[in-house]
């Protein structure tokens, strides 16, 4: 059972890799002490403890966050471009109206993270734990989720046109009123999705279809007998 629209939007290409400096300057622990709305360029943040900081509308250009503790970080109208988050802790961050472009998020923790009305372009999420994460009302272009745990993630009203989900756990994820035209799901666990009818226009790999069967039947008031 698959929903396939080859006339729809194209699936995401592989996101453009972030362009980082060969030798980024180490960021000092007091990097945010000057207040929000700063511009941070070509910095290596490393294992700093930046939990709970409010960076406001700061800009991060060609920066790398390696093992950085960012849980509870707050941002509004911030921008991350050509940035890498590797093994970072982004649990329970609160990002609103924030832009991420040419960004790679790998092997990072995003449990309970909230990206509301944000923009993702050329972004790769790989090997991340993002259960209970929220991407409500956000916009995605050329974005790939690969080998991610997205249990109970919330994509309500998100524009996921052409997004690729590869080998992801999406059990009980919320897609109500989302746009999924041209999106592709490959080897994903789609059991108990909410808002399953929003998958119209998406492509579902045959091996994933069985996990949608009962959810689709319930949404369409179909009784499966036998």
2 found inside a domain:
no
Task: Give me the numbers of helices (H) and strands (E) for the chain, helices first please.
Answer: 1, 16
Cβ-based neighbour number of residue 134 at 10 Å: 21
24 found inside a domain:
yes
Percent of the chain residues past pLDDT 70, beyond the cut: 88
Give 160-177 as a DSSP string: -TT-EEES-B-TT-B-TT
Lowest mean pLDDT of 8-12, 104-108, 116-120, 174-178, name the range.
8-12
Mean pLDDT for the chain overall: 90
96 found inside a domain:
yes
69 found inside a domain:
yes
Q: At 3, is the pLDDT very low, low, confident or very high (cuts 50, 70, 90)?
A: very low
Tens-place pLDDT, residues 164-216: 999 999 999 999 999 999 999 999 999 999 999 899 999 998 888 777 776 77
97 found inside a domain:
yes
**Could you list the residue range(s) of the whole structural domain that residue 47 is in?**
16-109
Q: What pLDDT score does 178 carry?
A: 98
Percent of the chain residues past pLDDT 90, beyond the cut: 77
pTM of the model: 0.90
21 found inside a domain:
yes
94 found inside a domain:
yes
36 found inside a domain:
yes
CATH code of residue 47: 2.160.20.80
The total of structural domains in the chain comes to 1
- Whether 60 and 100 have beta carbons less than 8 Å apart is answered as no
Please tell me the distance from the alpha carbon of residue 223 to that of residue 226, in angstroms, as a whole number: 10
């Amino acid at each position: 059972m698959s929903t396939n629209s080859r006339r729809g939007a194209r699936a995401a290409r592989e996101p453009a890799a972030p362009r980082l400096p060969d030798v980024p300057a180490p960021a000092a622990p007091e990097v945010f002490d000057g207040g929000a709305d700063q511009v941070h360029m070509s910095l290596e943040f490393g294992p700093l403890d930046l939990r709970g900081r409010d960076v406001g509308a700061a800009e991060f250009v060609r920066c790398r966050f390696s093992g950085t503790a960012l849980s509870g970080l707050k941002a509004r109208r911030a921008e991350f471009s050509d940035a890498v988050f590797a093994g970072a802790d982004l649990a329970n961050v609160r990002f609103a109206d924030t832009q991420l472009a040419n960004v790679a998020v790998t092997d990072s923790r995003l449990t309970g993270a909230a990206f509301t009305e944000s923009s993702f372009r050329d972004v790769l999420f790989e090997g991340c734990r993002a259960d209970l994460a929220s991407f409500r009302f956000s916009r995605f272009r050329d974005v790939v989720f690969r080998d991610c745990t997205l249990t109970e993630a919330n994509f309500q009203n998100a524009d996921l046109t052409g997004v690729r989900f590869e080998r992801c756990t999406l059990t009980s994820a919320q897609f109500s009123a989302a746009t999924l035209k041209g999106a592709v799901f490959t080897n994903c666990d789609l059991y108990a999705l909410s808002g399953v009818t929003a998958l119209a226009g998406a492509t579902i790999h045959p091996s994933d279809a069985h996990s949608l069967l009962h959810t689709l039947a319930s949404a369409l008031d179909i009784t499966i007998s036998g």
